[in-house]
């Protein structure tokens, strides 16, 4: 890495912005940290420390706009002369400027090793499956007590459930299903009972009333 540019040390292109530069800096620090499995078997402790120092040095220069501009000028001059050793930016007291002394260096809280707490929302429960569509019941051509009972049983309803839904007494409903017309209080009442019965079953009221009363034998 001796002849590598600061951009190459951090693995970024010369035109990257500060955000990408900071991300590359964090990644490089994590890569050469002592607990990194990626470099643990390739570099010994001294080599990792050397790489970390070089990462700090590169970031310290490139994160500051003024020092980066001066570095780019030197870099372009080096390329114009056909290469040579990569330039290093000196600090005031000699040597190179470590990243810790630059204003743009990330704080301790920004260390890639200190992972911020992330609030993960609890997964939402899956939406409930819509109920299956209710089967359509067709009123048969001949409606008598047995046909009424077959429609009711197809809906899985009992006489008591029909009574609760229709507000018609259970004994009158049984009389309709048993074709005991004489038990019912008359044709007009039977017509009202049949309408409520059909509504409870969610079938055609007019078809139930008309076809059942065709065979009416009561009053």
pLDDT band at 107 (very low <50, low <70, confident <90, very high): very low
Chain Cα centroid distance, residue 79: 50
Instruction: Assign domain 6-110 one CATH number from 1.10.10.10, 1.10.287.110, 3.90.1010.10, 2.40.128.720.
Output: 1.10.287.110
Question: Mean of the pLDDT values across residues 123-146?
Answer: 82
Q: What residue segments make up the domains of the chain, in order of their start?
A: 6-110, 145-213
pLDDT band at 176 (very low <50, low <70, confident <90, very high): very high
Residues 61/71, Cβ–Cβ less than 8 Å: yes
Nearest to residue 175, comparing CAs of 162, 190, 191?
190
Domain 6-110 shares a fold with domain 145-213: no
pLDDT band at 47 (very low <50, low <70, confident <90, very high): confident
Question: Mean of the pLDDT values across residues 93-108?
Answer: 43
Which of residues 33 and 152 earns the better pLDDT score? Answer: 152
- Rounded mean pLDDT of the chain? 78
pLDDT attached to residue 173:
93
pLDDT attached to residue 140:
92
Q: Is the per-residue pLDDT at 103 higher than 50? A: no
- How far is it, in rounded angstroms, from Cα 74 to Cα 117? 41
Q: Per CATH, the architecture of 145-213 is what?
A: Orthogonal Bundle (1.10)
Q: Is the per-residue pLDDT at 212 higher than 90? A: yes
Q: 174-179, long-range: CB within 8 Å, 24+ apart, which pairs?
A: 176/145, 176/148, 176/212, 177/145, 177/146, 177/148, 177/149, 177/152, 178/145, 179/144, 179/145, 179/215
- How far is it, in rounded angstroms, from Cα 147 to Cα 7? 87
Question: Mean of the pLDDT values across residues 98-120?
Answer: 46
């Amino acid at each position: 890495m001796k002849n590598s540019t600061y951009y190459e040390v951090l693995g970024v292109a010369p035109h990257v912005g500060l955000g990408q530069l900071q991300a590359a800096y964090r990644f490089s620090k994590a890569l050469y940290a002592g607990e990194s499995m990626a470099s643990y078997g390739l570099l010994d402790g001294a080599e990792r420390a050397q790489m970390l120092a070089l990462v700090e040095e590169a970031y310290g220069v490139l994160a500051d706009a003024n020092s980066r501009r001066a570095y780019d000028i030197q870099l372009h001059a080096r390329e114009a002369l056909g290469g040579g050793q990569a330039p290093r930016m000196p600090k005031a007291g000699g040597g190179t400027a470590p990243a810790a002394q630059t204003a743009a260096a990330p704080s301790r809280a920004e260390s890639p090793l200190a992972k911020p707490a992330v609030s993960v929302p609890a997964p939402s429960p899956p939406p409930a499956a819509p109920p299956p569509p209710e089967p359509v019941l067709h009123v048969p051509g001949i409606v008598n007590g047995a046909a009424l009972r077959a429609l009711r049983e197809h809906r899985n309803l009992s006489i008591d459930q029909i009574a609760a839904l229709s507000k018609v007494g259970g004994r009158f409903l049984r009389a309709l299903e048993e074709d005991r017309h004489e038990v019912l209080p008359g044709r007009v009442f039977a017509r009202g009972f049949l309408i409520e019965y059909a509504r409870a079953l969610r079938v055609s009221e007019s078809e139930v009333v008309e076809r059942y009363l065709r065979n009416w034998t009561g009053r």
